Structure 1
């Protein structure tokens, strides 16, 4: 530990995970996440219940992050927190706590865009993981977002393609719900897909111009496909579960890869990173690794724990903002639909 070390406490509360992390410069000392099981009963996140759970979890989660990092709060250099996008009630809990703690300690406050953090998680100093060079293309895939972003520097990012309707994570979860799989369904489709034939059932890929995406039509197509076949055979889903999941996953991955190929051709940038919860999907990770050989891309896949919502990714943005003196005052507010 040197005199010039920067210690960032990062707080993430954009949806239903309360998370806190402590970073020493760009290295993660602790990364604690408390999930909320209650939403499983409802088949989706209930905003009011999420914000209440954040209020219960935030103090113990931060306390645990500091203890795991072996850091006292008086040693902290700055507080970084998720400003948005996300659920307003959830964001407010993290924002309010961060302001209060920064004020009480007399240290800088740093607001972070959640989607920037998913991209910049690749700059966490992690053994065995290489950091990308600028510029690169980022594919951000989650329950709420599907974007291709041209990243020229830590603070120069441009969305060059995005979904016109549903996000890819929603396509996975809704497809799983149609099949009667538990919530969240994306990981179940990934799990069953491993044992299936990806070309058993063919789904039409939507024709969307340029670098944009659309998943609503695919969801409707899957719904009608399931309804039609269940009407003929009531055990159709159970009899073909692995093949259905594999075919759905194959189609979604093909849509993503087709757009990435187009983005590489248009920009001349062949360095690709992925981020967001859906980047935990094993099929997507495997296909991107193969793309490195197949298309000559240089691909960067984050450590598994930095894919879903976590505070370490908020901390690495906080660290870069600290180095560039990009601080916020106490008038900063949560923003559920913050500009990218």
Structure 2
């Protein structure tokens, strides 16, 4: 038996989970609404709020899991990548907590954890599988050979798909976080109403910088001709942007699946909660006879359950770190 407490603090969610012998028995997330006032995450504010949240979140996780801290076998934590100040709070607390209880420490790569979130619930993918990992900071196609062996076979050369959603939301004067709002408006619009730049990138890599620029110029030009253009066409703009991003993402994913001869396909990361991407993936699965794996919504955005399941497999492998471990804003995959 193994009972692992996991801490996630890479950005603006303070989250703690308990993994009891491979099963998630608690997953508590404290969100930081303060950043809505600024249209994005303010790193210094994020780290301060983590300090306020981490103790009560840990206490609540132990209560939810009906576990006493003396029953814990290890402490897992996000080492990186992420905001350095935010990571510092989680890493420092994990080290102190483990030291006080004489528990081993398990460091987890945040991006690995997003992929391993697929092993929280059934059905679980079989190795090897391809995982399209899409968030505000990352867009990657990962060949997953085992719990510990992963290879990036395609990634964005500049901006991430999630950033394209967020920047579009700002252009449309939608409040932060804008990605989910674009998804909501897209359901009411025509996805073929407008066309934007189609990045021509070789191999399995992505690029969204030019795509974002084409949206910017399109909206500026239309607003010059029609002052209420955004308000009058908001649903169609959102639907068209979402349709374009999903199409770009799936084109490369299909190419990767064919290149590697793999039919086990998964998505992960915050953008995997997007309904357009989920629907597009399901359609591709029907056309190409894929076995598709889509995580539950609570495991798409940043959460400690994914850190806990990753920590569980590292625990079984005896993969521990010492008290000299430090947070890393950038971390090798």
Q: How high is the TM-score relative to the length of structure 2?
A: 0.99
* 1:113 matches 2:113: no
Distance (Å, rounded) in 2 between the aligned partners of 1:339 and 1:25: 28
Distance (Å, rounded) in 2 between the aligned partners of 1:68 and 1:202: 48
- Counterparts in 2 of 1:23-102, with a 5 A limit? 23-102=19-98
Distance (Å, rounded) in 1 between the aligned partners of 2:44 and 2:232: 38
1:320 corresponds to which residue? 313
2:154 corresponds to which residue? 161
1:221 corresponds to which residue? 214
- Residue 204 of structure 1 and its aligned partner are, at CA, apart by 2.5
- Residue 29 of structure 1 and its aligned partner are, at CA, apart by 0.6
**Alignment partner of 1:148 out of 128, 141, 146:** 141
* 1:177 matches 2:170: yes
Q: How high is the TM-score relative to the length of structure 1?
A: 0.97
Q: Secondary structure at the match of 2:57?
A: helix
Gaps of 5+ in 2: none
Q: Deviations over 1:206-258 (max 9, x none)?
A: 00110110001011000111011111111111111111100000000000010
2:186 corresponds to which residue? 193
**Alignment partner of 1:261 out of 225, 229, 254:** 254
- Residue 24 of structure 1 and its aligned partner are, at CA, apart by 0.8
Q: Secondary structure at the match of 1:61?
A: helix
* 1:244 matches 2:237: yes
Q: Deviations over 1:158-198 (max 9, x none)?
A: 00110001111100000110111111111010000001110
* 1:288 matches 2:274: no
1:206 corresponds to which residue? 199
Distance (Å, rounded) in 2 between the aligned partners of 1:259 and 1:307: 21
Contact 2:197 2:210 in 1 (8 A): no
Aligned residues: 333
